[in-house]
Each structure stands twice: as structure tokens, then as C-alpha cells.
Amino acid sequence: LLPPFMDSATAANAAVTAATEDAQAALGVGYASFGYCTQQQSGSLSPSLCERMMRCENAKEVQEIQVGLEQLVAEPGEFETWASAIRERTSKHSFKVEALKITIDMITQLAHVIENQ
């Protein structure tokens, strides 16, 4: 029997993927153009960070982490679910050091925006 957080993590993974795909479909873009960052987060994330996110080898995972971070803020009661989804992406063997640095910068910038709201 899986621990309860595993079920939540699975649900969060599906939700992150669906939210990312919905955003891309609405904007008519794929991961390569990273329209979600520039359209939805232009006021929250710096243009230089968005550029780094676009060029990142792990752009898909970074975008999914962005969605997860936004959901952490929007749904604080679902912290374990979204934190598990983020942790899963950052702990993959294929997740590069540069992607981790981008994730840290994203967390810092989003925290600053939230603090000033």
C-alpha cells in the first residue's frame, strides 16, 4: 500500500502536466517558445529569468515547477501535493545544475512578489 503522499504526488503530477498543457494550448505555443512564462508571469519573473528558462535544457521541467510554485501560493492547503510534484522534478537524474539554479531564482523572485502584494 502506498503512503498517502504518493497518491497526492500522482495527482499533483497530473495536475501540473494538465495545467502546463492547457496554458500552452491557450497560447498556441510549445515548450520551446515558453510563452507561459512571458504571458502569465511577465510581472512576476524578470525577463532575464524567463530567457534563462527558455534556454534551459530542462525547460519543460522548469515550466512545470513554475506551475507547481504558483499552485503552492494559490492552494496552501495542498502544500504536500505540490511540494511532492516539485521535488519529483528537481530530483530527476536528468535535472541539470543550471535548471536547479533557475528554480532557486524563480522561488526567490516569486517570494519577493508575494511579500510585496
Q: State pTM to two decimals.
A: 0.66
Domains of the chain: total: 1
Phi, psi of 42 (to 5 degrees): -60, -30
pLDDT digit string, tens, across residues 17-49: 565 555 445 434 443 334 456 444 446 899 999
Domain that holds residue 44: 4-115
Q: What is the pLDDT of residue 116?
A: 83
Q: Can you tell me the mean pLDDT for 5-21? A: 57
pLDDT digits (tens, 9 = 90+) for 50-98: 999 999 999 999 999 999 998 988 889 999 999 999 999 999 999 999 9
